[in-house]
Amino acid sequence: MNMPTEQAAMISADEQAQTQETQAPYDKSDVTLRDRLIEAGILLDTGEDGLYGRSEVFEDIVERLNQAITMLGADQHAEVLRFPPAMRRRDFEDSEYLKSFPNLAGTIHSFQGNDRGHHRLLEALDKIVHIGEEEERSDDWMDQQKPTRLVLTPAACYPIYPLVAKRGKLAEQGAIFDAFSYCFRHEPSIDPGRMQMFRMREYIRVGSPEQVMDFRQKWIERGSLLVGLLGLPFEIDLANDPFFGRGGKIVADSQREQQLKFELLVPVATPDRPTACLSFNYHQDHFGELWHIRQADDQVAHTACVGFGMERTTLALFRHHGLDVEAWPAQVRQLLWGDKASLIEQGLANLGNKA
Ligand SMILES: [Zn+2]
């Protein structure tokens, strides 16, 4: 890790100490963060762990964070692409996601029976619809649900790679994309920082190893800048993805050894185990090989992405600044609801980035 990142981590540690001494508008027993958010009507309980409704104030913050991220990346001239939160099953199969995270994937099934099948479905349903919330329901009605050709998007950047591949060879300067999507991960939890459906904003870089590594370093710095401006304590740390199974440990160790993934961590619901709000990922030529993405000189393209966890960052703001947004620190309010441009321009100038 180079200097700017180390410095950012040190500054954040200072801020963290300050926050704990002077402010602490939040309860120390943070198992209750979820309850407090639900009680305040900021998150809406659906009855299912990890699936929430969002209130106006929550959505407003997500939207304004999103605008700040756009400003932060204005000089990237990224191609903005938006996809629904589903992708083609074929592309998903080819992506090797199931090799690494079979337990997190979400497939979309639909009734594909005939009239008789429909009757059976209704009969099975009839047996369960009136039973109480506390009783386990049979899933017999799903007998005739068959996989559709769609699956739920696991990460906002996934639909981008097959699309880039289809366009043919990259230009000399490679390519940068801007994606935003709801993503799905099947990991029910009462930690509000671990939702099953959440939004991820990403910038994705496709090009030579140098282009891609420069991009990732730039975004480690810019991500730190943003979270610093939001008045949140954080640290940047080496990380690994939660690869599945016995073989997963080896893959995770190798990912760490090669320093492919960094995370920006903020204490959210569990103070002793901070939550990854941003991640900075270098995939080497993994996606380039899979999808046959070629650089201008015909070499396999490398890829990297920076992901902003929109819900997690929003939750971190509530956790550290309290539930009343009117009472949030002036600079945080300015960044979200005021003149964000001047704060971001100043911050970028301090980083020494030529915007
Ligand atoms: Zn990504």
Q: What is the DSSP letter of 189?
A: -
Q: What is the predicted pLDDT for the residue at 101? A: 96
Answer whether 100's CB lies under 8 Å from 241's CB: yes
Q: What is the pLDDT of residues 140-164, one digit of tens each?
A: 999 999 999 999 999 999 999 999 9
- In this prediction, residue 353 has a pLDDT band, given cuts at 50, 70 and 90, of low
303 alpha carbon – ligand 1 mean position (Å):
9
281 alpha carbon – ligand 1 mean position (Å):
7
161 alpha carbon – ligand 1 mean position (Å):
10
**3-class secondary structure, 85:** coil
Q: What is the DSSP letter of 32?
A: G
Percent of the chain topping pLDDT 90: 86
137 alpha carbon – ligand 1 mean position (Å):
36
Cα distance between residue 288 and residue 75, in whole Å: 25
78 alpha carbon – ligand 1 mean position (Å):
14
Could you give all domains of the chain from N- to C-terminal order, each with its CATH number?
3-106+154-351 (3.30.930.10), 113-149 (no CATH)
Question: Looking at the predicted structure, is the pLDDT value of residue 259 above 60?
Answer: yes
157 alpha carbon – ligand 1 mean position (Å):
4
SS3 content of the chain, % helix, strand, coil (to 5): 45, 20, 35
253 alpha carbon – ligand 1 mean position (Å):
20
329 alpha carbon – ligand 1 mean position (Å):
31
Q: What is the pLDDT of residues 304-322, one digit of tens each?
A: 999 999 999 999 999 999 9
Average pLDDT, the chain: 91
Question: Looking at the predicted structure, is the pLDDT value of residue 250 above 90?
Answer: yes
